[in-house]
Amino acid sequence: MRFGEHLRSSMIKEYYPHYIAYDELKKALKTDFVTQPTPDNVKPARKEWTEDDETTFVTSLESELEKVFLFQKRKSEEIVERIKESEVEVNDVVSRLDDSVRRQSTRASRPPPTDEDFLLLEQVLSDIIADVHDLAKFTQLNYTGFQKIIKKHDKETKWYLKPVFAARLNAKPFFKDNYDAFVVKLSKLYDLVRTKGNPVKGDSSAGGSQQNFVRQTTKYWVHRDNITELKLVILKHLPVLVFNASKEFEEKDTAISSIYYDNPDTWELYQGRLKKTEGAEAIRLRWYGGMESDQIFVERKTHREDWTGEKSVKARFALKEKNVNAFLDGRMTVEQVFDKMRKEGKKSADEINDLEQLAREVQYRVITRRLVPVTRTFYHRTAFQLPGDARVRISLDTELTMVREDNLDGRRRAGANWRRMDIGVDFPFSQLPPEDIDRFPYAVLEVKLQTQAGQEPPQWIRDLTASHLVEAVPKFSKFIHGTATLFPTRINLLPFWYPQMDTDIRKPPTRRYGIHRPLASTSLSANDEDSDDDDSPQLTESATLNGSREGSDDRYLFTETNGNELDIEERIAAHPLPGDEDYPLYDSDDEYDTVDSDELEEARRVGGAYYAEQLAKYYVLKTRRAIAQGLWAIIPRPRATVMPPQEARGIQVLGAQRRLQRFQAPPGKKIFVPVRVEPKVYFAAERTFLSWLEFSIILGGIAATLLNFGVDSISLASSWAFTILAAGALVYSLLLYVWRVDKIRKRRDVKRVYYEKWGPTIVSVGLVVVVLVNFGLRVKAGGFMAGKLPLDGRPRHGDEL
């Protein structure tokens, strides 16, 4: 649908007067006709756009901007006050709970809180969460509306307003309000209420105690329109992980920066991580917060294939920022790095030995392989996790940005330092040239589980990952994507998700899922009256959180594999495709139907025969479409069989509807599709070759027998035919074996690697032809009828075999 229709269907009725008057502004862009429309001239020329028209339009636009800005500001202040009031109420209830626990021998001055008190507080907080969600949707829709009306104005009037109005938008930045502070505060309060005053305690350290850990991780893309709603959905189940609860929340506290190293001549780390070869490594240096952070984590990721019986693991150790250059250059030894740690005695000798071994290996690889900084990734991370409990961890990375860190192309970006110093955490890094930066258009959601074998993830996680809010992109890598994007002239092998960047990942809600407002709230929006209507345009505002996805029970992503089962990409490929229709998203206003509503309205004003003609054309078009759809539905034709979802445990990877598209790599590039290769694949290829070899030996034995014991031309011809067939099969099988092993080694996704239809067909047909021709020639020569052999089968005296 067009944006105007999308805006009308998505409006919250409670906020209706405060939305941008998009239709009125669009009508204001049309000047009067030079002459009135007549049946002979139904579309006369319009008057040129004048300065008075521009002044009138800009005045209306300014008025709409002021209206939206004031409402957003007032509503945001109202939410802040409601959060403060709720914080006082929650603290009061929790203090009453603490008093009731402490009182043993004394009489309580205040009664302890009841379950109804916590339930009421939960409803109040849920109502505030719904308000935050509604305000975020209001802001997003209005900002999109202003952008589209400005684009339409510049296109139709040729008076370019976009540069000027951008400054006015920045003066009233209603769209720049950051809701992260709301999310953090609401998460803390909701967690207190949900746990009835007994939140989980634990260490919320950013990583000091996490050295070597194995997780099962799935990754998803999240459109910017769904980021706030997704955060609000998650905080109802997991609290926001705050690393320093005693410190007031600041945006830079959520910033994470990483510097990835590689060899620009070979790109061996990039190639290894992309192809997922056994033992492929990624080496990066990471810090949390601003550039003033003194603690740098040196991390190494190692990929392990399932057939090895090991799991991919990330290991890291901390290093002072002032020592990074000396350590990477080899001027500082590993013993010097951990000398202070040994003296403090806070870690055991075995732990320190493991860290020293890791540091020694990282230093050796950086020096011997000539690794240098190539790519920086920056993002703000919102982590959801119970403190001290890493069994379920969800992280959402927003404002993801990739920056070049190399010294290639004649520019010294990082110089001799381990990172460039001309940028910090000042997103969007407007000081950088376009060729040095790539701003990723989506947020990245990572679901990390440490579940035991046979244990299923929680139901709410399965519902979340199966919802319309996320798009699964298994094994997405910020390092791989950033490197492929920032070095287009040096990287020719692209990741499999790269072509998907040109498609819109937004999906319509396929079930009732999202943020809902409690029915007991006193500030319910009008759209909640039709909560039983599945076709309501406000599904996200009135949906429940615990519904199950209809027809989608293929929860299998985090199932433990034994090396013989499919990996994530292969499971997606094997998943049934119920349809290949694109998602109905709203398009630009530049796309019109053959007879749109504006033309029909103008024809109505003209009246007469022209209006009757346009009205008839409109209904003929609708009738033709309905007939075509009906005929297409009843015409007998092959139809795809919709298979039931696969029964397995884990998390939903993709929704019930997916698009089936064929992508083509850019000129000079190749798209790498992950292919699972295990040692048994090589053994299978070898066994196939040995089977061909056995077949060729049998044919060769038959040919040798006929050649040695045959006495006539028929036997000689047959022996030559069997010899040629045997030699051909032998040479063909040898070449096929060599070709297959080469493709398997290169991990090429070629059908003939596993399927060959021509070789067996030709050999079988050739064998049948040789046998039939030999039999036919023998019968024609009268070998049995001429009496060469007696009836008893014994040779007469003088006969030769």
**pLDDT tens figures, 318-349:** 889 898 999 998 888 888 888 888 888 778 88
Q: Which residue has the higher pLDDT, 362 or 639?
A: 362
Tell me which H or E stretch contains 386: strand 372-386
Q: Which residue has the higher pLDDT, 454 or 713?
A: 713
The position carrying tokens 């991390």 is 299
How far is the C-alpha of 799 from the C-alpha of 794, rounded, in Å?
A: 10
Q: According to the model, what pLDDT value does residue 14 have?
A: 84
Q: According to the model, what pLDDT value does residue 32 have?
A: 72
The answer to whether the beta carbons of residues 719 and 711 sit under 8 Å apart is no
How far is the C-alpha of 90 from the C-alpha of 747, rounded, in Å?
A: 58
- Which percentage of the chain shows pLDDT scores above 70? 72
Q: According to the model, what pLDDT value does residue 795 have?
A: 52
Q: Which residues contact 222 (CB under 8 A, 6 or more apart)?
A: 230, 396, 442, 443, 444, 445, 469, 470, 471
Q: According to the model, what pLDDT value does residue 519 have?
A: 56
Residue count (the chain): 801
**Residue 748 binned pLDDT confidence (cut-offs 50, 70, 90):** low
Tell me which H or E stretch contains 288: strand 281-288
Q: According to the model, what pLDDT value does residue 401 have?
A: 93
The answer to whether the beta carbons of residues 474 and 219 sit under 8 Å apart is yes
The answer to whether the beta carbons of residues 481 and 440 sit under 8 Å apart is yes
Tell me which H or E stretch contains 93: helix 51-102
Q: According to the model, what pLDDT value does residue 220 have?
A: 92
- Burial code of 414-437, b = ≥16 C-beta within 10 A, e = fewer? beeebbbeebebebebeebeeebb
How far is the C-alpha of 387 from the C-alpha of 188, rounded, in Å?
A: 12
**Residue 375 binned pLDDT confidence (cut-offs 50, 70, 90):** very high
- What region, left, alpha or beta, does residue 331 occupy, with left being phi > 0 and alpha being psi -120 to 50 degrees? alpha
The position carrying tokens 């860190």 is 405
How far is the C-alpha of 217 from the C-alpha of 476, rounded, in Å?
A: 10
How far is the C-alpha of 20 from the C-alpha of 302, rounded, in Å?
A: 52
Q: Could you report the per-residue pLDDT of 619-629, keeping only the tens digit for each?
A: 888 888 888 88
Measuring CA to CA, which residue among 350, 405, 345, 418 is closest to residue 377? Answer: 405
Least confident of 346-360, 441-455, 600-614: 600-614
Least confident of 170-174, 258-262, 346-350, 795-799: 795-799
User: Does position 302 have pLDDT exceeding 60, yes or no?
Assistant: yes
| DSSP bridge pairs for 216 | 449
How far is the C-alpha of 89 from the C-alpha of 655, rounded, in Å?
A: 41
Tokens standing for residue 177: 């309000």
How far is the C-alpha of 397 from the C-alpha of 136, rounded, in Å?
A: 18
Measuring CA to CA, which residue among 125, 111, 228, 233 is closest to residue 179? Answer: 228
**Residue 605 binned pLDDT confidence (cut-offs 50, 70, 90):** low
Cite the DSSP H helix spans in 158-217: 162-171, 180-194
Q: Which residues contact 276 (CB under 8 A, 6 or more apart)?
A: 303, 305, 475, 674
Measuring CA to CA, which residue among 301, 317, 307 is closest to residue 214? Answer: 301
Q: According to the model, what pLDDT value does residue 720 have?
A: 86
Least confident of 343-347, 506-510, 730-734, 786-790: 786-790
| Local structure of residue 550 (DSSP, 8 states) | T
**What's the predicted TM-score (pTM) here?**
0.67
Counting Cα atoms < 13 Å in the Cβ hemisphere of 524 gives 15
| Local structure of residue 755 (DSSP, 8 states) | -
Average pLDDT over residues 19-31: 85
Strand-pair category, 313-320 with 372-386: unpaired
Q: According to the model, what pLDDT value does residue 38 have?
A: 67
Q: According to the model, what pLDDT value does residue 478 have?
A: 92
Tokens standing for residue 555: 């929860």
Given the residues 75, 301, 475, 478, the one annotated as active site: 478
Q: Could you report the per-residue pLDDT of 653-671, keeping only the tens digit for each?
A: 444 444 445 556 677 777 7
How far is the C-alpha of 156 from the C-alpha of 589, rounded, in Å?
A: 12
Strand-pair category, 281-288 with 389-404: unpaired
User: Does position 553 have pLDDT exceeding 50, yes or no?
Assistant: no
Q: Which residue has the higher pLDDT, 41 or 327?
A: 327
**Residue 752 binned pLDDT confidence (cut-offs 50, 70, 90):** low
Q: How far is CA 603 from CA 367, 597, 613, 622, 730, in A?
A: 76, 10, 9, 18, 78
The answer to whether the beta carbons of residues 284 and 258 sit under 8 Å apart is yes
Strands (E), 387-426: 389-404
- DSSP, collapsed to helix, strand or coil, labels residue 733 as helix
The answer to whether the beta carbons of residues 238 and 385 sit under 8 Å apart is yes
Measuring CA to CA, which residue among 184, 290, 277 is closest to residue 232? Answer: 184
Average pLDDT over residues 17-39: 79
Contacts 24+ apart (CB under 8 A), 738-744: 740/685, 741/682, 741/685, 744/677, 744/681, 744/682, 744/685
Q: According to the model, what pLDDT value does residue 258 have?
A: 93
Average pLDDT over residues 640-656: 44
Average pLDDT over residues 114-126: 82
Q: How far is CA 13 from CA 9, 16, 19, 124, in A?
A: 10, 5, 10, 21
Q: What are phi and psi of 259, to 5 degrees?
A: -110, 120
- Which percentage of the chain shows pLDDT scores above 90? 9
User: Does position 672 have pLDDT exceeding 70, yes or no?
Assistant: yes
How far is the C-alpha of 199 from the C-alpha of 92, rounded, in Å?
A: 16
Environment class of residue 615 by beta-carbon count within 10 Å: exposed (0-12), middle (13-18) or buried (19+)?
A: middle
How far is the C-alpha of 57 from the C-alpha of 146, rounded, in Å?
A: 13
| Local structure of residue 299 (DSSP, 8 states) | E
Q: According to the model, what pLDDT value does residue 458 have?
A: 79
CB atoms within 10 A of CB 702: 18
Measuring CA to CA, which residue among 56, 48, 65 is closest to residue 143? Answer: 65
Is 478 assigned a catalytic role? yes
Least confident of 95-109, 164-178, 372-386, 561-575: 561-575
Q: According to the model, what pLDDT value does residue 390 have?
A: 67
- DSSP, collapsed to helix, strand or coil, labels residue 101 as helix
The answer to whether the beta carbons of residues 267 and 491 sit under 8 Å apart is yes
How far is the C-alpha of 543 from the C-alpha of 531, rounded, in Å?
A: 8
How far is the C-alpha of 638 from the C-alpha of 628, rounded, in Å?
A: 18
- What region, left, alpha or beta, does residue 716 occupy, with left being phi > 0 and alpha being psi -120 to 50 degrees? alpha
Strand-pair category, 670-671 with 493-494: parallel
**Residue 402 binned pLDDT confidence (cut-offs 50, 70, 90):** very high
Least confident of 213-222, 409-418, 524-533, 776-785: 524-533
Mean pLDDT of the chain: 75
How far is the C-alpha of 286 from the C-alpha of 784, rounded, in Å?
A: 88
Most confident of 114-128, 263-277, 439-453: 263-277
